[in-house]
Structure 1
Amino acid sequence: MKDILGQAIHDYYYKKPEHQLWINNQYGPSEEMPVEAYFREEDDMPDIEWLALNECRGDILDIGAGAGGHVLLLQERGFDATALEISDLASAVMKARGVNKVITADIFEYQEQQYDTLLLLMNGIGLTGTLLKLKTFLQHAKQLLKPGGQLLFDSSDIAYLYEGKLPENGPYYGEIQYQYQYNQQKSDWFPWLYIDEQTLTGIASEMGYDMEVLLEDEFKQYLVRLTLK
């Protein structure tokens, strides 16, 4: 799969001629993704991200760390924070920006160390793609958590996209297919997951976790903490 997002992040950081990053989807017109969002400073982060960073504790693994904005803030606060990112280009940008610990790996294959906090922001849990793969991830996360450890992530209920007519058959309505488009290049289509609170509560319990909703906004975006029962 072409590393379209990593290329966009790399070009932005090194001030190469910029192109627009687009996200194609299955439900409507293409949406522009502003690359500068991956380089947000603390003052520009939404409340959900602020709260998540304030709830971090101990050794932290930021999964799908992008351009490293969250890890840099955690480093400044004195935390032992590690960035995990599947993109070689995004990983190179994080190292250039001063992230001390960068691991380039697929989270489903990573099992080198345990952490007090596993962090997935900007709907990072979406990387699981489907409800089934979310269960696989939550099982895998048990190997990565120290005793008493926590998972912190945000997601949202996207039922509004269907204007009250949720599909009765087929996959779960929050399992979306996306494609990145940048500088006349397109990625393969890939699955991305948005999960409503009720569905997540059931899956978390099934997989042996307690779930606490830390914040929910008017757009049905929410932040949760999962801890092992």
Structure 2
Amino acid sequence: MSKNKDIFGEAAKAYYFNEDQTPITVKSPDFDDDTIPVAYLFRDYAEMPVLEQAALEMCEGTVLDVGCSVGSHSLYLQKKGLEVTGIDISEASVEIAKKRGFSQAQVQDFYKIENGRFDTLLFLMNGSGIIGRTENLPKFFQQCRKLLNENGKILMDSSDLIFLLDEEPEIFEEYYGEMQFQISWKDHSSEAFDWLYIDPETLKKAAEDNNFQCTIVKEGEHYDYLAELRPL
């Protein structure tokens, strides 16, 4: 099996150009395999979860859409008249975003951005996943602080995985929201990667430790939530 890391991009290109609806498979050592319909990446505002809709309505000023994929969130913000830049490490996804009309999509690693100041940093589709592990939280907040304008904010959604546990979280050696995934599509497979789901209280504590204020602005129907974080 080819270790092609741009799984989302290859699947998006096949869907966009050839209407290929082969889903993306998500594998984890802790759970059964799951699938992501590629059409989900192309959803419009009306098809988005309420937390994503709420986050988009809260965006202000200059926006950085981190993990913009094929540009669905950014295109909505662009239509609203906001100045939005989108970044993703998937070259093929960025190519599709541009073809869909989002010219400010860029291939870029969030942690390697050196220039640019934004009023809103947007992290959606379990945006906390980019943090990887709880030990990376200081690095995440440091980079956000560098990129935010004065009075800027972070909008990020995540989920508390406590509902999946059969035992109390205190007995786990590692934080229960630290997951490892591998994704595949047809004969392409990614390397395993870390992905963080973080509960609201842990996020609030990490924000406080890094001189940010965290407010849970909206809760979903199943342990998911939207957080607003502002530097102090």
Same fold per superposition (TM over 0.5): yes
1:135 and 1:35 map into 2 onto residues whose CA distance is: 33
Paired residues, number: 229
1:17 and 1:227 map into 2 onto residues whose CA distance is: 41
Q: SS state of the match for residue 32, structure 2?
A: coil
**2:98 equivalent in structure 1:** 95
**Larger mean Cα displacement after TM superposition, 72-81 or 177-186:** 177-186
Alignment of 1:211 with 2:184, yes or no, is no
Contact persistence 2:178–2:195 (CA under 8 A)? yes
Contact persistence 1:23–1:31 (CA under 8 A)? yes
Aligned equivalent of 1:220, options 198, 217, 223: 223
**Larger mean Cα displacement after TM superposition, 108-117 or 18-27:** 18-27
| Deviation readout 1:139-175 (Å, 9 max, x if unpaired) | 1111100000000010010011123443624321100
Aligned equivalent of 1:126, options 117, 126, 129: 129
Contact persistence 2:71–2:105 (CA under 8 A)? no
Contact persistence 1:167–1:173 (CA under 8 A)? no
Query: Sequence identity, in percent?
Result: 34
TM-score, with normalisation over the residues of structure 2?
Answer: 0.95
Question: Which stretches in structure 2 are left out of the alignment for 5+ residues?
Answer: none
Question: Which stretches in structure 1 are left out of the alignment for 5+ residues?
Answer: none
Alignment of 1:47 with 2:55, yes or no, is no
Q: SS state of the match for residue 169, structure 2?
A: coil
Q: SS state of the match for residue 110, structure 2?
A: coil
TM-score, with normalisation over the residues of structure 1?
Answer: 0.96
**2:187 equivalent in structure 1:** 184
Deviation, 1:186, is: 1.3
**Letter in structure 1 aligned against 2:52:** E
Q: SS state of the match for residue 111, structure 2?
A: coil
Alignment of 1:141 with 2:152, yes or no, is no
**Larger mean Cα displacement after TM superposition, 91-100 or 12-21:** 12-21
